[in-house]
């Protein structure tokens, strides 16, 4: 039994990591070593791929920065709107809440790629193109259903006596939210924030259509477009270096916050 | 506590923005011109752009936005910037096939005010194809680009001239074990495949779309022959199976490594093949594509050119920059450094260039027998139909007659739907 | 009063989800393309008529459905296995769980590019290995019969952790005494899987199935970056077709028609899945 489990754990780790490790290996290989991996080479290892990606114009860290800006902007906006909404839903009548939950679930399931054309038109009408912070609006809208559902279940879990007591103390709605309820749903807020951040970090079709200035590209679009980083040979080494650099921040994020991510998703699943 | 920090940050922020705005408003800033180019062109024009900016002494500041490498992605980028409104670009370097679509969408401004007839006459006729739409000049060519047949001078004394010859020569060389593969070209499902097909189709005497009409010729006997020949290249082993996924670079890579006798590619490949890391350096010749009758030998016109966007606030300055980038001296530089074919007739007789390059006469010849892909705003759709069906032939998914009949029917459907809209 | 707090969220959701659906429905009855100078003109259902006869649309529908069915089934099977493994207690579980989550957290385009390299002919590791053991080149990305399977691999790799996590949450709601009682009665562990675990997991299976089905049906980034829809259009999805119609062919009316019909087909598929699950639980009740 034990041995069998170890085997399965190894398989799971291999399956999850092998493609990433291959990218890592590729990113350190010289072009010649990639084309003839089995032959002898004077020089097999190199940092050139990284140099190339980091010194390109605009340099790679710029995309990382853009993604961070978009991620923080959309996460803040989402929480700002979702927390009051979830609180309010936890207070309305059962029937209203049930309908609202159904709609939210439907929206959360929606394959949002299909929205890109209409959102592009919105961007044109309100002149929101080529603006990193403006991307927060569609991102907040798209992650709103999931965020509200997660936070709603957190509010539901709070004992109602708590808020009652605070009301008797003379705290108004804003004070109750600010000083009593929001601190209590801290863990759920953190999980929601991370999930929204991950979503906006990884989003592709909308960033692809809303941003056309090279210095404003977010990471996923920049990666997809990096096909042009070298001119006449197939730049797989540079691709790989870019994927490694693009994966690193998320690697850290997942390792640090895995507990929140897991509890966020599982909470949502149990209550949703 | 928190509030105090916040108000401090807000104060700091507003002070900085006021200072930034003031410094921006007070400084005398040059007219900014931004041109979007595909990566290779952005790279090869770096020096020229710098020179232009120096010459201008701060009057105009030209900036090049380096687009992606793949043609389609450049187009996607340009289109999404145009659809968003307020495009960050003043001018675009566009492919010859995009022009009708962009012009019909109302995105371009005619160049007639800045370019006179004399200048138009100085361009080789082949390079002037596809620059007009509805009688107006919308595009000014930077480089001419034609499909060429590259051959190995160390393996054969002269290049094959007909499709049959090409197969025969290749098979012979392969049988003798002198090369692994006979002929590489662009077989991936993308625009390059349409270019390859057009040349072969013309070589068999066919026509894709009769200019000015809606007559599609994809199910003609010439079309069937052309498609069968491409399929035969793969089935007979002249071309490797992997050619189905080759674009220009993959073909170049294979040819450069010395494993292949013949290649179809654009003029830029010549420069690459003469570099020190090339295994076929000095052993390469260039000619036009094979054809069943050598009068029909055709080169698909590639060609990139500049268009000015209607939304540009400084078309005047953009035109000036374009004039500089396409000047005789600029073209000379682009040809010597990157093998980009000039468009001005005089340069093909330029002694200096002729002494530097032995392929210039061949390029001039190819430029006289160019053919243009159908010039319609619907080109992207009909090319897509052709690519899909050719790809299904090359991969053995469907028979030649079925796929070409399918291509014919679908192309006609697209053109008919368009007629109804009008 | 409290209900006012709902307004911003409701507005945003209506703007981002509701408005597009209304807009597409309207656009789908208009010609709005490069030929009309990008102005919408009513065309009395011509888009819908064209859709009915559009081979490519139906081929893409079939391919999208094929992709979604195969990859979601594989994902769920793997996810059940992974969830069962992660549900047990052993040392280092946290680290393994974090690592297995990684594929899900990475941007799709990052790994789509990676897969393109991994499946590359002839330099990718798979082809290298095939050559080493004396196989002919596999041409994974240029053979219409197998390329779509490569995209399935990419999708399964990326999204299985997500499904596994939802199922893991479900497993943790199953009380342990149920198993204990079952074993006391002499039940076999494998029987427990089918008689306790899977039935009680059913709501979670349904949830992750619906969620994944919807996402797989809208597959776009992976395909666009990995294959661009080729070879021979064999991997093109509905979302990619809609994208091409809008951004490359500048035919917004038709693009909207494709998207609306894609959406309707998806709703249909979800209903079907839901009905099947309902039916399945009825049957189980009946057997009991």
> Two tokens at B416?
């008919």
Distance CA C39, CA C19 (A): 19
Task: Decide if pLDDT at A173 tops 80.
Answer: yes
Residue found under tokens 């170049």: B252
Terminal Cα-to-Cα distance of chain C (whole angstroms)? 50
The pLDDT, as a whole number, for residue B298 is: 92
Q: Tell me the nearest-neighbour CA distance from A87 into chain C, angstroms.
A: 8
The pLDDT, as a whole number, for residue C288 is: 61
**Closest CB to C34 among B76, B101, B245:** B101
Question: What's the whole-number mean pLDDT along residues A104-129?
Answer: 90
Walk me through the domains of chain B, giving residue ranges and CATH numbers.
31-145+302-371 (3.40.190.10), 148-300+378-420 (3.40.190.10)
Question: What's the whole-number mean pLDDT along residues C165-190?
Answer: 84
ipTM of the complex: 0.87
Least confident range from B83-87, B145-149, C78-82, C282-286: namely C282-286
Report the neighbours of C using a cutoff of 3 or more CB pairs below 8 angstroms.
A, B
Query: B207 pLDDT band (50/70/90 cuts)?
Result: very high
- Tell me which residues of chain A, numbers 65 to 94, contact chain C at a CB-CB cutoff of 8 Å: 81-82, 84-85, 87-89, 91-92
Domain extents for chain A? 52-271
- Cβ(C226)–Cβ(C153) below 8 Å: no
Terminal Cα-to-Cα distance of chain A (whole angstroms)? 35
Chain B hits for A227, Cβ within 8 Å: 68-70, 73
DSSP secondary structure string for all residues of A218-263: -HHHHHHHGGGSSSSS--HHHHHHHHHHHHHHHHHHHHHHHHHHHH
**Closest CB to A124 among B38, B84, B252:** B84
The pLDDT, as a whole number, for residue B287 is: 93
> Two tokens at B75?
């187009």
CATH superfamily for C61-280 is: MetI-like (1.10.3720.10)
> Two tokens at C219?
């597959």
Q: Is B32 on the interface with A (CB under 8 A)?
A: no
Distance CA C36, CA B26 (A): 45
User: Cα dihedral sign for B24, B25, B28, B29?
Assistant: positive
- List the one residue out of B174, B166, B172, B170 whose CA is nearest residue B200: B166
Average of per-residue pLDDT values in chain B: 89
What percent of chain C has a predicted confidence (pLDDT) above 70? 99
Distance CA C14, CA A107 (A): 10
Give the β-pairing of B136-137 and B132-133: antiparallel
Domain extents for chain C? 61-280
Question: What's the whole-number mean pLDDT along residues A174-178?
Answer: 84
Give me the torsion for CA of C125, C129, C130, C133, rounded to 10°.
170
- Cβ(A260)–Cβ(A190) below 8 Å: yes
Q: Is C77 on the interface with A (CB under 8 A)?
A: no
- CB proximity list for A63: less than 8 A, separation 6 or greater: A217, A218, A219, A222, A223, A246
Q: What are phi and psi of B298, to 5 degrees?
A: -130, 150
Task: Decide if pLDDT at A244 tops 80.
Answer: yes
Question: What's the whole-number mean pLDDT along residues B84-97?
Answer: 90
Least confident range from A229-243, B316-330, C114-128, C215-229: namely A229-243
The pLDDT, as a whole number, for residue B26 is: 53
- Cβ(A180)–Cβ(A121) below 8 Å: no
Where do runs of H (alpha helix) occur along B27-56?
39-44, 46-56
pLDDT 10s digits, A181-219:
888 888 889 889 988 998 999 899 999 889 888 888 899
Question: What's the whole-number mean pLDDT along residues B22-47?
Answer: 80
- Cβ(B84)–Cβ(A131) below 8 Å: no
Question: What's the whole-number mean pLDDT along residues A29-58?
Answer: 79
Task: Decide if pLDDT at A229 tops 50.
Answer: no
Average of per-residue pLDDT values in chain A: 85
- B197 vs B87, more confident: B197
The pLDDT, as a whole number, for residue A254 is: 83
Query: A243 pLDDT band (50/70/90 cuts)?
Result: confident
Distance CA C31, CA C40 (A): 6
Where do runs of H (alpha helix) occur along chain A?
2-27, 31-35, 48-55, 60-91, 94-109, 116-125, 136-157, 160-168, 173-175, 182-184, 186-202, 205-210, 219-225, 236-271
- Tell me which residues of chain C, numbers 99 to 158, contact chain A at a CB-CB cutoff of 8 Å: 99-103, 105-115, 117-118, 120, 123, 125, 128, 157
CATH class of the region A52-271: mainly alpha
């Amino acid at each position: 039994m034990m041995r069998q489990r170890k085997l399965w754990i190894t398989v799971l780790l291999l399956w999850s990591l092998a493609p990433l490790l291959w990218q890592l290996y590729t990113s350190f290989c010289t072009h010649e070593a990639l084309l003839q991996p089995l032959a002898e080479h004077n020089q097999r290892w190199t940092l050139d791929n990284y140099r190339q990606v980091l010194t390109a114009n605009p340099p790679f860290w710029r995309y990382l920065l853009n993604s961070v800006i978009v991620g923080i902007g959309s996460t803040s906006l989402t929480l700002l709107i979702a927390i009051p909404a979830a609180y309010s839903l936890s207070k309305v009548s059962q029937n209203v809440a049930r309908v609202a939950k159904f709609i939210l679930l439907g929206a959360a399931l929606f394959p949002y790629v299909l929205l890109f054309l209409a959102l592009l038109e919105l961007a044109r009408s309100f002149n929101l193109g080529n603006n990193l912070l403006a991307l927060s609006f569609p991102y907040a809208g798209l992650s709103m259903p999931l965020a509200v559902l997660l936070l709603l279940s957190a509010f539901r879990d709070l004992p109602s006596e708590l808020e009652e007591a605070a009301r008797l103390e003379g705290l108004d709605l804003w004070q109750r939210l600010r000083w009593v309820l929001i601190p209590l749903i801290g863990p759920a807020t953190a999980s929601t924030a991370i999930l929204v951040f991950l979503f906006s970090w990884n989003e592709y079709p909308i960033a692809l259509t809303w941003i056309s200035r090279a210095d404003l590209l977010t990471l996923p679009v920049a990666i997809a477009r990096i096909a042009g980083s070298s001119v006449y040979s197939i730049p797989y080494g540079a691709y790989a270096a870019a994927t490694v650099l693009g994966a690193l921040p998320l690697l850290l994020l997942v390792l640090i916050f895995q507990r929140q991510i897991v509890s966020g998703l599982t909470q949502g699943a149990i209550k949703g | 506590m928190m509030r105090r920090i916040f108000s401090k940050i807000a104060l700091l922020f507003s002070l900085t923005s006021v200072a930034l705005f003031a410094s921006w408003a007070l400084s005398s800033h040059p007219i900014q011109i931004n041109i979007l180019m595909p990566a290779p062109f952005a790279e090869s024009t770096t020096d020229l752009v710098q020179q232009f900016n120096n010459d201008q002494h701060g009057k105009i500041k030209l900036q090049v936005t380096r687009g992606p490498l793949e043609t389609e992605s450049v187009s996607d980028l340009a289109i999404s910037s145009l659809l968003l409104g307020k495009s960050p670009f003043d001018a675009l370097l566009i492919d010859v096939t995009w022009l009708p679509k962009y012009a019909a969408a109302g995105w371009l401004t005619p160049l007639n005010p800045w370019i006179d007839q004399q200048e138009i006459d100085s361009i080789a006729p082949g390079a002037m194809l596809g620059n007009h739409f509805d009688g107006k000049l919308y595009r000014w060519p930077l480089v001419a680009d034609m499909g060429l047949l590259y051959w190995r001078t160390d393996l054969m004394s002269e290049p094959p001239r007909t499709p049959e010859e090409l197969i025969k020569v290749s098979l012979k060389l392969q049988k003798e074990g002198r090369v692994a593969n006979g002929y590489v070209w662009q077989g991936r499902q993308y625009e390059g495949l349409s270019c390859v097909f057009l040349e072969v189709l013309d070589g068999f005497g066919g026509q894709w779309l009769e200019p000015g009409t809606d007559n599609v010729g994809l199910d003609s006997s010439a079309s069937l022959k052309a498609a069968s020949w491409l399929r035969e290249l793969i089935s007979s082993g002249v071309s490797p199976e992997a050619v189905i996924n080759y674009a220009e670079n993959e073909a170049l890579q294979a040819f450069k490594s010395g494993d292949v006798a013949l290649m179809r590619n654009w003029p830029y490949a010549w420069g690459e093949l003469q570099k020190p890391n090339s295994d076929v350096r000095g052993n390469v010749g260039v000619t036009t594509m094979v054809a069943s009758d050598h009068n029909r030998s055709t080169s698909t016109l590639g060609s990139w050119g500049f268009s000015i966007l209607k939304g540009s606030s400084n078309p005047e300055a953009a035109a000036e920059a374009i004039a500089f980038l396409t000047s005789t001296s600029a073209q000379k530089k682009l040809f010597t450094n990157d093998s980009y074919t000039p468009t001005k007739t005089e340069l093909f007789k330029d002694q200096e260039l002729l002494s530097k390059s032995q392929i210039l006469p061949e390029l001039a010849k190819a430029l006289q027998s160019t053919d243009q892909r159908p010039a319609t705003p619907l080109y992207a759709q009909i090319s897509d139909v052709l690519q899909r069906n050719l790809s299904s032939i090359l991969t053995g998914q469907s028979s030649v007659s079925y796929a070409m009949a399918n291509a014919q029917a679908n192309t006609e459907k697209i053109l008919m739907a368009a007629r109804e809209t009008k | 009063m409290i209900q006012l707090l709902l307004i911003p969220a409701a507005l945003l959701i209506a703007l981002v989800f509701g408005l597009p659906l209304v807009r597409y429905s309207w656009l789908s009855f208009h010609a709005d393309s490069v030929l009309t100078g990008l102005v919408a003109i009513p065309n009395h259902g011509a888009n819908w008529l064209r859709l009915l006869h559009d081979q490519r649309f139906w081929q893409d529908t079939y391919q999208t459905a094929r992709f979604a069915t195969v990859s979601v089934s594989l994902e769920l099977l793997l996810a059940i296995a992974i969830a069962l493994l992660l549900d047990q207690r052993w040392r280092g579980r946290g680290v393994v769980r974090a690592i297995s989550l990684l594929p899900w957290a990475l941007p799709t385009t990052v790994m789509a590019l990676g897969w393109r390299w991994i499946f590359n002919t002839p330099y990718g590791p798979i082809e290298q290995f095939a050559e080493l053991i004396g196989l002919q080149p596999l041409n994974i990305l240029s053979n219409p019969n197998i390329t779509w399977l490569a995209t399935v691999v990419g999708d399964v790799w990326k999204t299985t952790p997500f499904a596994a996590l939802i199922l893991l949450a479900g497993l943790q709601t199953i009380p342990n005494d149920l198993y204990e009682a079952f074993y006391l009665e002499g039940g076999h562990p494998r029987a427990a899987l089918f008689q306790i675990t899977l039935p009680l997991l059913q709501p979670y299976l349904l949830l992750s199935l619906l969620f994944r089905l919807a996402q797989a049906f809208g597959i776009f980034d992976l395909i666009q970056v990995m294959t661009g829809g080729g070879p021979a259009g064999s991997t093109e999805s509905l979302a990619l077709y809609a994208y091409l119609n809008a951004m490359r062919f500048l035919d917004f009316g038709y693009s909207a028609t494709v998207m609306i019909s894609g959406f309707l087909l998806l709703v249909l598929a979800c209903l079907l899945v839901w009905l099947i699950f309902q039916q399945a639980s009825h049957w189980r009740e009946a057997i009991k």
